[in-house]
Amino acid sequence: NAGVTQTPKFRVLKTGQSMTLLCAQDMNHEYMYWYRQDPGMGLRLIHYSVGEGTTAKGEVPDGYNVSRLKKQNFLLGLESAAPSQTSVYFCASRTPGTSGGTSTDTQYFGPGTRLTVL
């Protein structure tokens, strides 16, 4: 298993350009997530999906859109990139599992995409 993969690994954009980040997982996981990581702030959730065809907003969704047309793929789009979106983007996936109503299963993370917006 490759686990969770992300494409591309690095990208430089100019302000106003658009791009799509691809996340793929081969573990048949139901849930997938997109995070951004900024210095001193840990990871923050952008959007997530609890199954094929579903998406939901996370903590910092503005300026991003997502799609989950296939179970194994979760796409993150930037329609008009801004310098504030310079960050490292991580995708993660997991299978639902709970104990007493609390999530128990591990999220598996991809290697990240480093995006710079000039």
Residue ranges that bind another protein, judged by CB under 8 A: 4, 31, 33, 40-45, 48, 50, 56, 58, 90, 92, 94, 96, 98-107, 109-112
| Nearest distance in Å: CB 41, another protein | 6
For tokens 């106003």, what's the residue? Answer: 16
| Nearest distance in Å: CB 76, another protein | 16
| Nearest distance in Å: CB 70, another protein | 19
Output b/e per residue, 38-63; b: 16+ Cβ within 10 A: eeeeebebbbbbeeeeebeebebbee
Nearer to another protein, 5 or 17 (CB): 5
Specify the pairing of strand 10-13 against strand 113-117.
parallel
